[in-house]
Structure 1
Amino acid sequence: MKHSVTTLNTKRLIASSLKKIMSKKPFSKITVTEIIKDCGVNRKTFYYHFADIYALLKWMFEEEAVEVVKNFDIYTNPEEAIEFVIEYVEKNEHIINCAYDSIGREEMKNFFSSDFRGIISGVITKAEKSFEVELDADYKKFLTNFYTEAFSGMLIDWVKDREFTDEKLTVEYVTKTVKSTIEGVMQKEKDNKPTPDSKTNCP
């Protein structure tokens, strides 16, 4: 336990230095040397925890945002998770834009897609249990990919064009869409599910 806590604290220390430097220069211009000099760890320690600066950036977003979102009950109450994401973007607008400008839209979206996929798959699984249905594996995979692409892409677009987006409406629209579409899929699956009493009439 002590080792894991020390490891987490070291990662957070390194991530803090990255954020500090990102406030002063483009992400693509930052070096490992600058980061370790700022936080006081050696190069070996940095590479023990992270393969490169891109891995550090991804971990930072996961630690500060994705892992927190996982603790919300997105299926039952998606508003809280969406509001948290909006607040996180507001607090870290410069850092997120710095990363976006350096690595591009698609790479930035890929950062979030892998994590979103797990979160959304969990939401769909919870909906299946709530409606007592089981989707076909291929269809569940399709739905997971569909929502992952939609939400990760929307998040990246929103980061770059936030001045044109009403935050309250964003929460309302995303919540309404998530609830109505997923529940609609589950209800249709349930309606098509054979009942124990159904029998095939044979001549």
Structure 2
Amino acid sequence: MPTQTTKQILGQTLKTMMQTTSLDHITIDKLAEAAHINRNTFYYHFDDIHSLLDWVYQQDVIVALRRESSIDHWQEAYQLMLTYIATNRQFCQNTFRSLSRSALDDVLYHYAGEMVTGVVDSIDPFTPPLLREAIKNFYGHAIAAQVTQWLENDLQESQASMIHKASVMLDGTFAHIIKQGKKDRFYGDR
């Protein structure tokens, strides 16, 4: 079995500490002590707690999505995101309620944006870049906002309900937008 890297140990230690402690109350000294390393080792890998937090989300969510090459539909990707949040509920909620909320916002938007781009490309791989980016930005932020609202409501709504609500809004929408956008003088081919 491969041994964990120092980054992985620090990431897991941070996630463990955030089960009981707000991110805003975790110091590098406390984290290093819990990870059984010294401060200098921490600084060798990360600039601060926030860069470690960003790294954890990148590894846990974004890298995991890229590894899932078998995803055929956006609903499957969305399900993976919701399941990650539910499985790591305390970690995500403590991030959400901390001064580092932007780290979670960024990863939610990045994940949702990749999901949307994948759908656009599957509908029409020749979608003009400006139109593709506009769809990604608009719907990526909309999906991230839906997940943020879910966190604000303490994950009370079921994942199935979340996916259903998104399906009502999205099914057929991208194809229509791509068709209309290609005709538009601003978004379409010039």
Q: Same fold (TM over 0.5)?
A: yes
Give the total of aligned pairs.
183
Q: How does 1:77-96 map onto structure 2 within 5 Å?
A: 77-96=73-92
In structure 1, the partner of 2:148 is 156
> For residues 115 and 83 of structure 1, do their structure 2 counterparts lie closer, same or farther at Cα, with a shift above 3 Å needed?
closer
Cα separation, 2, equivalents of 1:179 and 1:12: 38
Relative to its length, the structure with more helix (as a share) is 1
Which structure is larger by alpha-carbon Rg, 1 or 2? 1
Find out whether 1:134 has 2:119 as its counterpart: no
Q: 2:121 aligns with which of 118, 125, 134?
A: 125
In structure 2, the partner of 1:165 is 157
> For residues 90 and 13 of structure 1, do their structure 2 counterparts lie closer, same or farther at Cα, with a shift above 3 Å needed?
same
- Give 5+ residue unaligned stretches, structure 2: 184-190
Find out whether 1:25 has 2:21 as its counterpart: yes
Cα separation, 1, equivalents of 2:13 and 2:33: 9
Length-normalised TM-score, structure 1: 0.75
> For residues 185 and 134 of structure 1, do their structure 2 counterparts lie closer, same or farther at Cα, with a shift above 3 Å needed?
same
> For residues 140 and 67 of structure 1, do their structure 2 counterparts lie closer, same or farther at Cα, with a shift above 3 Å needed?
same
Cα separation, 2, equivalents of 1:20 and 1:170: 27
**Aligned residues of 1:117 and 1:148 also touching (Cα < 8 A):** yes
> For residues 21 and 64 of structure 1, do their structure 2 counterparts lie closer, same or farther at Cα, with a shift above 3 Å needed?
same
**Aligned residues of 1:78 and 1:175 also touching (Cα < 8 A):** no
In structure 2, the partner of 1:57 is 53
- Percent of aligned positions that are identical: 20
Length-normalised TM-score, structure 2: 0.79
Cα separation, 2, equivalents of 1:176 and 1:125: 20
Deviation readout 1:124-155 (Å, 9 max, x if unpaired): 233322xxx432x3322211110121111111
In structure 2, the partner of 1:98 is 94
Deviation readout 1:147-195 (Å, 9 max, x if unpaired): 12111111111112145423222122323433421122234467x5xxx
Cα separation, 2, equivalents of 1:62 and 1:138: 26
In structure 1, the partner of 2:32 is 36
SS of corresponding position for 1:165: coil
Query: What amino acid is the match of 1:155?
Result: V
Cα separation, 1, equivalents of 2:116 and 2:105: 15
Find out whether 1:185 has 2:138 as its counterpart: no
